[in-house]
Amino acid sequence: MRQLPFDIEEDREDCPAVGLVVLQTDETMEHELRHWLPANTRLFHTRIPNRIDINHDSLQAMKQALPESVALLPASTDFKVIAYGCTSAATVIGEQAVTDAVRSVFPGVAVTNPLSAIKARLVHLNAHRIALLTPYVPQVSQSMVDALESSGFNVVSVASFHEEHDDRVARIAQHSLLNAMTTLAGEGPVDAIVAACTNLRTRGLTERASEQLGIPVISSNAALSWHIQSLL
């Protein structure tokens, strides 16, 4: 068999590589980020094992699995950003611990997660008084309230669907999300509404809800895509 010559092309700077660490149970984030990120972004996905029930113990358990999951991303790729796609786990594990785990495999890479992205987006919008909507059980929701307030935000209203199972979270209807956002907005003046969880289907809803309610509406996936772009 004849061997043919070929040339090697370096990665193009105008097509940045972004790594996504997606939960085993997440059915939403990949699709929504592909919609919100520029078409020239090269997305590389890896999955991290997790239990379908979302609580403090199951979230904390992902910390040990993070480096191994990140290591499944191609080592030869010059990643500009690697994002860990779980709002609640980033809250429970800790943002710096997530960054350290990713950088143990890809030293020096820019790292983000939905909690960090939400906070950065709120600062960018100069939003201080926050209404928070989550699907989580109360203990996990309270951890996120504490994380936001420790960063200087005033969470004046919070509500949750109290749903522990991630497969059900991925199927919460958009009209239920909009009704919940409307309820929160009616409880008092806020600068923004945050809908936390990468498994919530918010594509097309954040813009519509923001226009209807007259205030910014931020979802985990919308904030994460915005933050990734700001880090590129």
The verdict on residue 94 lying in a domain is yes
**Whether the predicted pLDDT of 55 surpasses 90:** no
The verdict on residue 91 lying in a domain is yes
The verdict on residue 11 lying in a domain is no
Q: What is the span of the domain harbouring residue 34? A: 17-113+227-231
User: How far are the Cα atoms of 19, 171, 186, 225, 232 from residue 176, in angstroms, in the given order?
Assistant: 31, 10, 15, 23, 34
- Span 194-206, mean pLDDT? 97
**Whether the predicted pLDDT of 71 surpasses 90:** yes
pTM score > 0.85 for this model?
A: yes
108 with 120, same domain?
no
45 with 96, same domain?
yes
Q: How many domains does the chain have?
A: 2
88 with 60, same domain?
yes
CATH code at position 22: 3.40.50.12500
67 with 142, same domain?
no
pLDDT score, position 161? 98
The verdict on residue 76 lying in a domain is yes
The verdict on residue 38 lying in a domain is yes
35 with 49, same domain?
yes
- Span 21-41, mean pLDDT? 96
The verdict on residue 12 lying in a domain is no
The verdict on residue 88 lying in a domain is yes
* CB-CB neighbours of 97 under 10 Å: 13
CATH code at position 177: 3.40.50.1860
Residues 170-187 have pLDDT tens digits of: 999 999 999 999 999 999
Distance (Å, whole) CA 212 – CA 209: 5
156 with 97, same domain?
no
Q: How many residues does the chain have?
A: 232
**Which residues are within 8 A (CB) of 86 and not within 5 positions of it... i.e. 6 or more apart?**
23, 26, 50, 59, 62, 113, 114, 198
Which of the four pLDDT bands, split at 50, 70 and 90, describes residue 53?
A: confident
123 with 154, same domain?
yes
The verdict on residue 1 lying in a domain is no
pLDDT score, position 56? 86
Q: What is the mean pLDDT of the chain?
A: 96
120 with 109, same domain?
no
79 with 136, same domain?
no
Let me know: does 151 contact 90? Beta carbons within 8 Å.
no
106 with 142, same domain?
no
Which of the four pLDDT bands, split at 50, 70 and 90, describes residue 13?
A: confident
Residues 87-100 have pLDDT tens digits of: 999 999 999 999 99
104 with 141, same domain?
no
101 with 162, same domain?
no
* CB-CB neighbours of 205 under 10 Å: 19
